[in-house]
Structure 1
Amino acid sequence: MFEDEKDDKIYNLIISNGIDRNNEYGQFTEKLFSKVDFLWKESISGDFSLAGEEFYKKIDRIILLAGLYKDNKELFESLLKASETYNIPIILVRPYGLEEVPEILEEKAATIVGWNANCIVDSIKNACETM
Protein backbone atom coordinates (compact mmCIF):
# COMPACT_ATOMS: atom_id res chain seq x y z
CA MET A 1 0.00 0.00 0.00
CA PHE A 2 1.30 3.45 -0.91
CA GLU A 3 0.80 6.47 1.29
CA ASP A 4 -0.03 9.83 -0.21
CA GLU A 5 2.65 12.43 0.19
CA LYS A 6 2.05 14.12 3.54
CA ASP A 7 1.28 17.84 3.35
CA ASP A 8 1.91 19.46 6.73
CA LYS A 9 1.37 23.00 5.45
CA ILE A 10 -1.30 24.98 7.27
CA TYR A 11 -3.12 26.99 4.61
CA ASN A 12 -4.14 30.47 5.72
CA LEU A 13 -7.42 31.27 3.96
CA ILE A 14 -9.85 34.12 3.59
CA ILE A 15 -13.32 32.74 2.91
CA SER A 16 -15.96 35.18 1.67
CA ASN A 17 -18.87 35.56 4.03
CA GLY A 18 -21.57 38.14 4.68
CA ILE A 19 -25.23 37.93 3.76
CA ASP A 20 -25.66 34.21 3.18
CA ARG A 21 -29.26 33.20 2.55
CA ASN A 22 -28.44 29.56 1.76
CA ASN A 23 -25.72 28.90 4.40
CA GLU A 24 -23.09 28.35 1.71
CA TYR A 25 -20.34 29.49 4.09
CA GLY A 26 -21.37 26.88 6.66
CA GLN A 27 -21.61 24.16 4.03
CA PHE A 28 -18.22 25.12 2.60
CA THR A 29 -16.42 25.09 5.95
CA GLU A 30 -18.04 21.72 6.72
CA LYS A 31 -16.42 20.39 3.53
CA LEU A 32 -13.01 21.66 4.70
CA PHE A 33 -13.49 20.21 8.19
CA SER A 34 -14.42 16.84 6.66
CA LYS A 35 -10.91 16.56 5.20
CA VAL A 36 -9.07 15.80 8.42
CA ASP A 37 -5.76 15.48 6.56
CA PHE A 38 -6.01 19.08 5.27
CA LEU A 39 -4.70 21.73 7.64
CA TRP A 40 -6.12 25.23 7.39
CA LYS A 41 -7.04 28.32 9.33
CA GLU A 42 -9.16 31.31 8.44
CA SER A 43 -8.09 34.93 8.69
CA ILE A 44 -10.84 37.46 9.25
CA SER A 45 -10.80 41.24 9.13
CA GLY A 46 -13.50 43.67 10.19
CA ASP A 47 -12.94 45.48 6.89
CA PHE A 48 -10.87 43.77 4.21
CA SER A 49 -10.50 47.03 2.30
CA LEU A 50 -8.61 48.53 5.26
CA ALA A 51 -6.43 45.51 6.03
CA GLY A 52 -2.90 46.17 4.85
CA GLU A 53 0.20 44.36 3.73
CA GLU A 54 0.96 42.97 7.20
CA PHE A 55 -2.40 41.15 7.15
CA TYR A 56 -2.37 40.00 3.52
CA LYS A 57 1.22 38.78 3.35
CA LYS A 58 0.20 35.87 5.59
CA ILE A 59 -2.69 34.77 3.34
CA ASP A 60 -2.21 31.76 1.04
CA ARG A 61 -5.55 31.74 -0.81
CA ILE A 62 -8.74 33.76 -1.07
CA ILE A 63 -11.87 31.64 -1.38
CA LEU A 64 -14.82 33.35 -3.05
CA LEU A 65 -18.18 31.66 -2.67
CA ALA A 66 -19.83 32.84 -5.89
CA GLY A 67 -23.32 32.29 -4.51
CA LEU A 68 -22.74 35.16 -2.08
CA TYR A 69 -21.62 37.68 -4.70
CA LYS A 70 -24.98 39.30 -5.44
CA ASP A 71 -25.58 40.34 -1.80
CA ASN A 72 -21.94 41.12 -0.90
CA LYS A 73 -20.45 42.95 -3.88
CA GLU A 74 -18.40 45.42 -1.78
CA LEU A 75 -16.72 42.58 0.13
CA PHE A 76 -15.94 40.74 -3.11
CA GLU A 77 -14.52 43.90 -4.68
CA SER A 78 -12.24 44.38 -1.65
CA LEU A 79 -11.03 40.79 -1.89
CA LEU A 80 -10.50 40.99 -5.66
CA LYS A 81 -8.42 44.12 -5.18
CA ALA A 82 -6.40 42.49 -2.38
CA SER A 83 -5.78 39.45 -4.56
CA GLU A 84 -4.41 41.64 -7.31
CA THR A 85 -2.38 43.93 -5.02
CA TYR A 86 -0.79 41.15 -2.95
CA ASN A 87 -0.68 38.43 -5.62
CA ILE A 88 -2.93 35.98 -3.75
CA PRO A 89 -4.63 33.25 -5.83
CA ILE A 90 -8.42 33.18 -5.86
CA ILE A 91 -10.34 29.92 -5.63
CA LEU A 92 -13.84 30.52 -6.97
CA VAL A 93 -16.52 28.13 -5.68
CA ARG A 94 -19.58 27.79 -7.89
CA PRO A 95 -22.93 28.71 -6.33
CA TYR A 96 -24.31 25.64 -4.57
CA GLY A 97 -26.29 23.58 -7.10
CA LEU A 98 -25.46 25.83 -10.08
CA GLU A 99 -22.77 25.85 -12.75
CA GLU A 100 -22.65 29.51 -13.80
CA VAL A 101 -20.48 32.04 -12.00
CA PRO A 102 -20.35 35.83 -12.43
CA GLU A 103 -18.00 36.66 -15.30
CA ILE A 104 -16.10 39.30 -13.32
CA LEU A 105 -15.18 36.64 -10.74
CA GLU A 106 -14.35 33.99 -13.33
CA GLU A 107 -11.84 36.33 -15.00
CA LYS A 108 -9.90 36.81 -11.74
CA ALA A 109 -9.95 33.23 -10.46
CA ALA A 110 -6.90 30.98 -10.51
CA THR A 111 -9.33 28.06 -10.52
CA ILE A 112 -13.06 27.35 -10.31
CA VAL A 113 -14.36 24.45 -8.27
CA GLY A 114 -17.65 22.84 -7.29
CA TRP A 115 -18.64 21.39 -3.94
CA ASN A 116 -16.70 18.13 -3.80
CA ALA A 117 -14.44 18.23 -0.73
CA ASN A 118 -11.53 16.48 -2.49
CA CYS A 119 -11.70 18.88 -5.44
CA ILE A 120 -11.84 21.88 -3.11
CA VAL A 121 -8.74 20.78 -1.23
CA ASP A 122 -6.87 19.95 -4.43
CA SER A 123 -7.76 23.37 -5.83
CA ILE A 124 -6.47 25.12 -2.72
CA LYS A 125 -3.23 23.14 -2.71
CA ASN A 126 -2.58 23.52 -6.43
CA ALA A 127 -3.77 27.07 -7.14
CA CYS A 128 -1.13 29.30 -8.59
CA GLU A 129 -1.03 33.04 -8.95
CA THR A 130 -2.85 34.31 -12.03
CA MET A 131 -1.17 37.69 -11.97
Structure 2
Amino acid sequence: RDATDEHSTARLFELTARLLEQISADRPVVLVLEDLHWADASTRHLLAYLFRTLSTGRLMVVGTYRADDIHRRHPLRPLLAELDRLRTVTRVELDRFSHDEVGRQLAGILAEVPEAALVDEIFERSDGNAFFVEELARS
Protein backbone atom coordinates (compact mmCIF):
# COMPACT_ATOMS: atom_id res chain seq x y z
CA ARG A 1 0.00 0.00 0.00
CA ASP A 2 1.23 3.46 -0.75
CA ALA A 3 1.01 6.63 1.34
CA THR A 4 -2.12 7.81 -0.48
CA ASP A 5 -3.99 4.61 0.42
CA GLU A 6 -2.86 4.86 4.04
CA HIS A 7 -3.93 8.51 4.20
CA SER A 8 -7.33 7.64 2.67
CA THR A 9 -7.82 4.81 5.15
CA ALA A 10 -6.87 7.03 8.09
CA ARG A 11 -9.27 9.69 6.86
CA LEU A 12 -12.09 7.16 6.48
CA PHE A 13 -11.48 5.85 10.00
CA GLU A 14 -11.50 9.40 11.41
CA LEU A 15 -14.71 10.32 9.58
CA THR A 16 -16.39 7.13 10.77
CA ALA A 17 -15.42 7.90 14.37
CA ARG A 18 -16.71 11.49 14.10
CA LEU A 19 -19.99 10.31 12.57
CA LEU A 20 -20.54 7.81 15.39
CA GLU A 21 -19.71 10.48 17.97
CA GLN A 22 -22.19 12.90 16.40
CA ILE A 23 -25.12 10.50 16.16
CA SER A 24 -24.55 9.23 19.70
CA ALA A 25 -24.13 12.68 21.25
CA ASP A 26 -27.87 13.30 21.70
CA ARG A 27 -29.27 9.79 21.95
CA PRO A 28 -28.07 6.29 22.72
CA VAL A 29 -26.92 4.29 19.70
CA VAL A 30 -26.29 0.56 19.49
CA LEU A 31 -24.07 -0.60 16.65
CA VAL A 32 -24.38 -4.36 16.10
CA LEU A 33 -21.68 -6.15 14.13
CA GLU A 34 -22.39 -9.81 13.57
CA ASP A 35 -20.13 -12.67 12.51
CA LEU A 36 -16.84 -10.93 13.31
CA HIS A 37 -15.09 -14.27 12.77
CA TRP A 38 -15.55 -13.48 9.05
CA ALA A 39 -14.38 -9.84 9.29
CA ASP A 40 -11.69 -8.80 6.84
CA ALA A 41 -8.50 -6.99 7.85
CA SER A 42 -9.92 -3.53 7.08
CA THR A 43 -12.94 -4.13 9.31
CA ARG A 44 -10.76 -5.41 12.16
CA HIS A 45 -8.46 -2.37 11.87
CA LEU A 46 -11.44 0.00 11.84
CA LEU A 47 -12.88 -1.63 14.96
CA ALA A 48 -9.55 -1.39 16.78
CA TYR A 49 -9.34 2.29 15.84
CA LEU A 50 -12.90 3.01 16.96
CA PHE A 51 -12.45 1.31 20.32
CA ARG A 52 -9.20 3.20 20.94
CA THR A 53 -10.55 6.62 19.97
CA LEU A 54 -14.25 6.75 20.86
CA SER A 55 -14.83 7.81 24.43
CA THR A 56 -17.66 10.31 24.32
CA GLY A 57 -21.29 9.94 23.43
CA ARG A 58 -23.66 7.13 24.20
CA LEU A 59 -22.52 4.44 21.82
CA MET A 60 -22.63 0.73 22.53
CA VAL A 61 -20.96 -1.64 20.11
CA VAL A 62 -22.11 -5.24 20.19
CA GLY A 63 -19.96 -7.64 18.22
CA THR A 64 -20.75 -11.28 17.75
CA TYR A 65 -18.51 -14.11 16.69
CA ARG A 66 -18.46 -17.88 16.96
CA ALA A 67 -15.90 -18.79 19.59
CA ASP A 68 -15.73 -22.30 18.12
CA ASP A 69 -14.43 -20.78 14.86
CA ILE A 70 -11.65 -18.75 16.49
CA HIS A 71 -8.68 -21.11 16.38
CA ARG A 72 -5.30 -20.24 17.88
CA ARG A 73 -4.03 -18.39 14.80
CA HIS A 74 -7.34 -16.84 13.69
CA PRO A 75 -6.89 -13.22 12.52
CA LEU A 76 -9.57 -11.98 14.96
CA ARG A 77 -7.54 -13.11 18.00
CA PRO A 78 -5.25 -10.03 18.15
CA LEU A 79 -8.26 -7.69 18.07
CA LEU A 80 -9.99 -9.66 20.83
CA ALA A 81 -6.82 -9.51 22.94
CA GLU A 82 -6.60 -5.75 22.41
CA LEU A 83 -10.26 -5.26 23.33
CA ASP A 84 -9.88 -7.39 26.47
CA ARG A 85 -7.30 -4.87 27.73
CA LEU A 86 -9.72 -1.93 27.45
CA ARG A 87 -11.72 -1.10 30.56
CA THR A 88 -14.65 0.07 28.42
CA VAL A 89 -15.09 -3.38 26.87
CA THR A 90 -16.98 -6.25 28.44
CA ARG A 91 -16.90 -9.66 26.83
CA VAL A 92 -19.94 -11.85 27.37
CA GLU A 93 -19.62 -15.46 26.34
CA LEU A 94 -22.83 -17.36 25.76
CA ASP A 95 -22.77 -21.08 26.38
CA ARG A 96 -24.77 -23.53 24.35
CA PHE A 97 -28.21 -24.28 25.73
CA SER A 98 -28.78 -27.30 27.92
CA HIS A 99 -31.52 -29.79 27.07
CA ASP A 100 -33.90 -28.02 29.49
CA GLU A 101 -33.09 -24.60 28.04
CA VAL A 102 -33.79 -25.88 24.52
CA GLY A 103 -37.15 -27.12 25.79
CA ARG A 104 -37.96 -23.70 27.27
CA GLN A 105 -36.90 -21.94 24.07
CA LEU A 106 -39.10 -24.25 22.02
CA ALA A 107 -42.03 -23.61 24.37
CA GLY A 108 -41.59 -19.88 23.81
CA ILE A 109 -41.38 -20.25 20.05
CA LEU A 110 -44.26 -22.69 19.72
CA ALA A 111 -46.42 -21.08 22.44
CA GLU A 112 -47.03 -24.54 23.92
CA VAL A 113 -45.11 -27.21 25.77
CA PRO A 114 -43.30 -29.27 23.11
CA GLU A 115 -43.33 -33.05 23.01
CA ALA A 116 -40.30 -34.61 24.69
CA ALA A 117 -39.32 -36.33 21.44
CA LEU A 118 -39.25 -32.98 19.63
CA VAL A 119 -37.05 -31.45 22.33
CA ASP A 120 -34.71 -34.45 22.13
CA GLU A 121 -34.46 -34.25 18.34
CA ILE A 122 -33.90 -30.50 18.19
CA PHE A 123 -31.41 -30.58 21.05
CA GLU A 124 -29.47 -33.30 19.25
CA ARG A 125 -29.55 -31.56 15.86
CA SER A 126 -28.84 -28.05 17.17
CA ASP A 127 -26.14 -29.03 19.68
CA GLY A 128 -27.66 -26.38 21.97
CA ASN A 129 -27.09 -23.51 19.53
CA ALA A 130 -30.01 -21.12 20.16
CA PHE A 131 -30.07 -19.88 16.56
CA PHE A 132 -30.28 -23.42 15.21
CA VAL A 133 -32.99 -24.29 17.74
CA GLU A 134 -35.10 -21.43 16.41
CA GLU A 135 -34.46 -22.33 12.77
CA LEU A 136 -35.28 -26.01 13.35
CA ALA A 137 -38.43 -25.12 15.29
CA ARG A 138 -39.70 -23.03 12.40
CA SER A 139 -38.97 -25.66 9.75
Q: TM-score range by the shorter chain?
A: 0.3 to 0.5
The two structures have a TM-score, normalised by structure 1, of: 0.35
The two structures have a TM-score, normalised by structure 2, of: 0.33
Larger helix fraction of residues: 2
Which structure is richer in relative contact order (CA contacts within 8 A, separation 6 or more)? 1
Structure showing greater Rg: 2
Larger strand fraction of residues: 1
